Structure formats: C-alpha cells, structure tokens
Amino acid sequence: MDSQPSQPNFLALQNACIGFNGVAILRDITFDIPKGQTLVVIGESGCGKTVLLKLLIHLLGTTSGKVLFDGQDWNTLDEKRVNEQRLRFGFLFQGAALFDSLNVFDNVAFGLRAHSRCREDEIEKLVLKRINEVGLKESVLGKKPAELSGGMKKRIGLARALILNPEVMLYDEPTTGLDPIMTDVINELILQTRKNSPVTSIVVTHEMRTVTKVADRVIMFYPLSRLNQKEPQKIFDGTTDELFKSQDQRVQQFINGEAKERTQESENHLNTDEPI
C-alpha cells in the first residue's frame, strides 16, 4: 500500500535510477518525503538503501530521473549551490566516520569551524550542548575515537551531525553492531532529535526495533537481482501497522527474519552443477 503525504513535498525522487558498471542498483524509484516526516527505509543488503541516502544528499547523481530537494533538482545546481544545500543536511554514517586524528571536541566542532563564523568560546558552548544532548559527559572531549566504544562513537557522530542544526537528518544503519541497550539509546536519541526541532529524518536500517520505535512511515526495497524487469523495486510504502499486516510474503519474510526460501534456493543450487 502506498502512503500519500498530505504536506508539501520537501524531498522527492522522480523515476530515479542509478547503477554502477552496468549493474542497476535502484530502478525507477518515485516517492515524496514531506517536511518533518521520519521515514525508515528497510530491505535486504544490496537493495540500494545506502545508495538512496547518497542520492538524497547528491553525493551520487542519478543515471536517469530526478532527485529534488526543497523544489530544486540537484542536477541543475552548480557546485557552489550544491555545497550550500548540503549544509542543510546532517549525516550519521554507519561507522560514525569520526576523524581518527582529532579528539572528540574537535570532531564535533569541525562543522562549525569550517562553515560558520562562531568564535571559539561560542563553539565550546555549542559542542558542550550537543555532547550533553547525546548523553555524554565533558570527560570524553579529549579522547580520540580509538578510545571510544561503538555506542559512544555513534553518539559523537550524531552530535557532530547536529552541530549545524540541519533541516534533514540521514541515518545510515545507526544501530549496526550495538547491543540491545545501546540500540535503544540511539533510537531514543533519534526521537529526541525530532522532538527538539522540526527535522526531517530518513533512517536506513535492518533493525525492526528501530522501525517500530521511530518510524512515521516505512518503505521497503527489494533487490533488483530477484525481480523481473516489470516488477517494482519498492514493494511496500506505508505505516508501521500496515507493514506488520502486509500480505506480501517478501515483506513478512524480512520482518520475521525467515530464511527458509533462501536456504532452499541454496540447496537447489548445490544439487546442480550451477554455481551459487
């Protein structure tokens, strides 16, 4: 079931396609994201979820179709305008992507120093504010990333992403590799970020606890390698309640973690001379 947003569109894909070395990753993707919505994107590894995030912020360009942000087609903007628009985004990378040579304070302050005219005393106040918001103490500020746990790195990455007050937050597998308690901490921080400011959020995840906790809307992609040319790659678009009630077997297999079909496919390959 497709969910039609009632608010003006803030981000939009129109028949967007992208591939690498002749291999399609996303095909004919069309949907809108209204301002203030928290969209969670799910699907198997390799179905193009992270590529979607890179399209939304124009780190990658479409091979055909359009990606629009605030009514403007990214492909029509010059480099200066693209860089200006990107400052309206925050990006929490899958591995946090902290600068190894910088301590926590300098990691979080990086965006302000690069893109604002804030004095150092102002930067210090803003860094402390963001560090406190993600539940960490001042004692971490002098540490290097190598001294931090996985959960701390994610929280520092979130503080850095929020330092410029983005209008859009992109989360790439924000809870990957974390224990259940820290997963819930990150989910709570995503909710708190939305509560503190009217941010639009796009969350890519495999974690169903994240889906149920933070999503206003869920989209599910399916790998193109498992579809024929006429089948849509976006196989679900709706609310969390609708997701769990979906009659699509592929959706149910994913949300319930059922691998029986794939196991049978592997066994069938093993019983033939065909490579898996």
- Number of structural domains (the chain) is 1
| CATH code: domain of residue 81 | 3.40.50.300
Strands 38-42 and 234-238: what pairing? unpaired
Q: In the predicted model, what is the mean pLDDT of residues 7-19? A: 87
Residue 273: pLDDT band by 50, 70, 90 thresholds?
Answer: low
- pLDDT-based confidence at 266, cuts 50/70/90? very low
Average pLDDT estimate for 170-198: 92
Reference 233, options 18, 5, 12; nearest CA is 18
Q: Say yes or no to pLDDT of 263 above 70.
A: no
pLDDT tens-digit map of 190-216: 999 998 888 999 999 999 999 999 999
Residue 104 covered by a domain: no
| Residue 133 included in any domain | no
What is residue 51's predicted lDDT score, i.e. its pLDDT? 96
Distance CA 117, CA 114 (A): 9
Domain-embedded: residue 110? no
Domain assignment of residue 53, yes or no:
yes
On the question of pLDDT at 6 being above 50, the answer is no
Q: Is residue 41 part of a domain?
A: yes
Q: What percent of the chain has pLDDT over 70?
A: 91
**Residue 159, class by beta-carbon neighbours within 10 Å (0-12 exposed, 13-18 middle, 19+ buried)?**
buried
Domain coverage including residue 174 = 1-88+170-181+202-276
Q: What is the pLDDT of residues 69-113, one digit of tens each?
A: 999 999 999 999 999 999 999 999 887 789 999 999 999 999 999
Residue 129 lies in a domain: no
Query: 171, 137, 159, 140: which is closest to 57 by C-alpha?
Result: 171
pLDDT the model gives residue 95: 76
Domain assignment present for 136: no
For the chain, give the longest Cα–Cα distance: 69
Statement: residue 261 has pLDDT above 90 = no
